[in-house]
């Protein structure tokens, strides 16, 4: 059971994401008096009839002026049972890349849908992104139930639509973020609903284990202190990307492919017998190998060393993704160059089918083939989030142009 649950919201603009987060924070008593007072007085000076809880999260001037969310806002709160990091992501198509940013580190996505309109193209896009990114559990929050007289058949219809598009583990909750129905406590307006309120669900949720093909540890930094106490120390600083590594394990050091043994796993706080996903440690190995930043230490089935891959890409910049284009690819701790060999298809977010495409525009999701200048050590994204994901960076501007998920290896 993680002590920290990372949650991202998703959904169309005006579906009420910021209001829901404001409501969660407010009703779980995570909003402090000065914050509430600032929001109350801002609402009053804008002439609103009620306090607009969305102002708690829409922190940028332009967001408050337009009443929309432009960039991810991160909020933190703890109940007696769990700590939460909430990424409140924008709904506008224009800011889809910021939604992807918020979703990439999340364990759970809360997809908001307006009960009156059902699934829109943007809520389908967000569901697709949540699925793609391997979010381990989705909560469908059917919002604005107060505006449809809390009717069960309306809720059931949205649930049926969502069942067509979501393959993850998921559940559905009828809510009104504005009124607080089924957010922190169960609502008397929905006696037909047999589940938990949203917050309780998030507090009690047990996530399925993250997939791991084997132990994966990408070298970040070679640590060689050369101090009198540690004259001969040579360790590899890094974070376990997947699985578990133990002292005594046989490891393959890739891309070179050398075999060796883990002799120690150290931290400032003392040596450890093993280290598991997410832990930052210093690993020592038996042989003196040429393993610098970007090298991958694998236990179990090793990763694939490859100069080419097929990937699903979400494109995030105005310049379209086209065959022949070159980018810098950032994958684990390694960096190489990549050329786009082919664009194969684009996801149609209305039908969820794929259609032929020759390029991908801003916010498109599609399949491409890439070739790398140097071999990378990769896994398929569905087998390992941290070793199957990469970003493409524009060489000249340094901008992050797209995110890729390795589908198959060639």
Partner 1 sequence: MTLTVVDSGPIDRESALADLEDESIHILREVVATFDRPVLLFSGGKDSIVMLRLAEKAYWPGKIPFPVMHVDTGHNFSEVIEFRDRRVAELGVQLVVASVQESIDGGRVTEQPGQSRNPLQTVTLLDAIAEHRFTAVLGGARRDEEKARAKERVFSVRDEFGRWDPRNQRPELWDLYNGRHRAGEHVRVFPLSNWTELDVWGYIRREGIEVPDIYYAHRRDVVRRDGMLIAVTPFTPPFENEEVWSETVRYRTVGDATCTGAVRSDASTVDEVIDEVAASTLTERGATRADDRASEAAMEDRKREGYF
Residues 333-392 that bind partner 1 (CB under 8 A): 333, 385-386, 389-391
CA-CA-CA-CA torsion for 187, 190, 192, 193, nearest 10 degrees? -50
Choice between 259 and 267, CB closer to partner 1: 267
Q: How far is CA 139 from CA 83, 135, 143, 146, 383, in A?
A: 18, 11, 12, 19, 23
Binders of partner 1 among residues 63 to 92 (CB under 8 A) are 64, 70-76, 78-83, 85
Choice between 228 and 353, CB closer to partner 1: 228
Size of the site for partner 1 (CB under 8 A): 91
Choice between 69 and 122, CB closer to partner 1: 69
In whole angstroms, what is the distance from residue 21 CA to residue 410 CA? 43
248 binds partner 1 (CB under 8 A): no
| 138 bridge partner residues | 109, 170
Give the pairing of strands 334-347 and 365-378: antiparallel
Q: Which stretch binds partner 1 (CB under 8 A): 57-65, 121-129, 175-183, 301-309?
A: 57-65
Q: Which stretch binds partner 1 (CB under 8 A): 51-59, 145-153, 257-265, 346-354?
A: 51-59
Choice between 122 and 334, CB closer to partner 1: 334
238 binds partner 1 (CB under 8 A): yes
Binders of partner 1 among residues 154 to 183 (CB under 8 A) are 163, 169-172
Choice between 139 and 347, CB closer to partner 1: 139
Choice between 3 and 353, CB closer to partner 1: 3
Choice between 227 and 353, CB closer to partner 1: 227
Please name the residue that has the structure tokens 């694998």: 298
One residue of 48, 66, 185, 230 binding partner 1 per CB under 8 A: 230
Tokens describing residue 131: 């699925």
- Are 26 and 53 in contact by the 8 Å Cβ rule? The answer is yes
Pattern of binders to partner 1 over 307-336, x per CB under 8 A?
---------x-----------x-xxxx---
CA-CA-CA-CA torsion for 302, 214, 269, 233, nearest 10 degrees? -10
Pattern of binders to partner 1 over 5-44, x per CB under 8 A?
---------------------------xxxx--x---x--
- Are 105 and 386 in contact by the 8 Å Cβ rule? The answer is no
- Are 45 and 52 in contact by the 8 Å Cβ rule? The answer is no
- Are 307 and 313 in contact by the 8 Å Cβ rule? The answer is no
Please name the residue that has the structure tokens 């493409």: 392
Q: Using the 8-state DSSP alphabet, how is residue 13 labeled?
A: T
| 73 bridge partner residues | 88
Choice between 328 and 339, CB closer to partner 1: 328
Choice between 76 and 352, CB closer to partner 1: 76
Pattern of binders to partner 1 over 253-292, x per CB under 8 A?
-------------xxxx--------xxx-x----------
Please give the distance of CA 240 from its chain centroid, rounded to a whole number.
18
Instruction: Write down the least CB distance from residue 259 to partner 1, Å.
Output: 25
Choice between 82 and 371, CB closer to partner 1: 82
In whole angstroms, what is the distance from residue 195 CA to residue 208 CA? 20
One residue of 153, 229, 232, 318 binding partner 1 per CB under 8 A: 229
What is the length of the chain?
410
Q: Which stretch binds partner 1 (CB under 8 A): 12-20, 123-131, 220-228, 248-256?
A: 220-228
One residue of 89, 98, 363, 367 binding partner 1 per CB under 8 A: 98
56 binds partner 1 (CB under 8 A): yes
Instruction: Write down the least CB distance from residue 249 to partner 1, Å.
Output: 20
Tokens describing residue 16: 């009420």
Instruction: Write down the least CB distance from residue 356 to partner 1, Å.
Output: 27
CB-based burial, 387-401: b 16+ in 10 Å, e otherwise: bbbbbbbbeeeeebb
- Write out the E strands in 12-168: 73-78, 83-88, 108-114, 137-143
Q: Which stretch binds partner 1 (CB under 8 A): 115-123, 235-243, 300-308, 345-353?
A: 235-243
Cite the DSSP H helix spans in 10-115: 17-27, 33-45, 61-66, 96-104
Choice between 230 and 250, CB closer to partner 1: 230
Q: What is the DSSP string of 310-331?
A: EEEEEE-SSSPB-TT-EEEEEE
Instruction: Write down the least CB distance from residue 191 to partner 1, Å.
Output: 19
């Amino acid at each position: 059971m993680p002590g920290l649950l990372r949650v991202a919201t998703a959904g169309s603009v005006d579906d009420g994401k910021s209001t829901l987060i404001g409501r969660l924070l407010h009703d779980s008593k995570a909003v402090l008096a000065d914050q509430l007072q600032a929001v109350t007085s801002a609402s009053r000076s804008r002439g609103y009839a009620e306090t607009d809880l969305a102002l708690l999260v829409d922190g940028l001037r332009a967001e408050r002026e337009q009443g929309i969310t432009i960039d991810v806002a991160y909020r933190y709160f703890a109940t007696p049972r769990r700590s939460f990091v909430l990424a409140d992501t924008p709904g506008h198509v224009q800011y889809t890349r910021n939604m992807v940013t918020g979703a990439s580190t999340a364990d759970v996505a809360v997809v908001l849908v307006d009960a009156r309109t059902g699934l829109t193209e943007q809520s389908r896009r967000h569901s697709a992104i949540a699925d793609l990114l391997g979010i381990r559990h989705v909560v469908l929050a059917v919002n604005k139930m107060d505006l449809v007289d809390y009717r069960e058949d309306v809720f059931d219809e949205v649930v049926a639509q969502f069942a067509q598009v979501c393959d993850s583990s998921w559940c559905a909750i009828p809510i009104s973020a504005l009124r607080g129905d089924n957010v922190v406590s169960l609502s008397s307006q929905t006696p037909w609903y047999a589940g938990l309120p949203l917050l309780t669900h998030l507090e009690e949720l047990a996530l399925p284990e993250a997939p791991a093909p084997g132990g994966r540890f990408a070298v970040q930094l070679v640590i060689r202190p050369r101090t009198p106490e540690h004259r001969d120390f040579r360790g590899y600083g890094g974070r376990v990307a997947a699985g578990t590594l133990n002292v005594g394990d046989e490891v393959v050091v890739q891309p070179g492919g050398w075999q060796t043994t883990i002799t120690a796993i150290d931290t400032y706080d003392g040596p450890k017998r093993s280290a598991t996903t997410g832990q930052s440690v210093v690993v020592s190995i038996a042989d003196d190998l040429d393993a610098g930043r970007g090298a991958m230490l694998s236990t179990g089935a090793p990763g694939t060393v490859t100069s080419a891959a097929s990937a699903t890409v979400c494109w995030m910049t105005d310049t379209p993704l086209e065959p022949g284009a070159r980018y810098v690819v950032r994958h684990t701790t390694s960096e190489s160059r990549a050329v786009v060999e082919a664009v194969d298809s684009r996801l149609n977010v209305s039908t969820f089918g794929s259609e032929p495409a020759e390029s991908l525009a801003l916010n498109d999701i599609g399949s491409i083939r890439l070739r790398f200048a140097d071999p990378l050590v990769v896994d398929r994204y569905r087998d390992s989030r941290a070793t199957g994901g990469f970003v493409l960076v524009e060489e000249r501007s340094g901008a992050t142009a797209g995110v890729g998920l390795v589908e198959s290896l060639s």
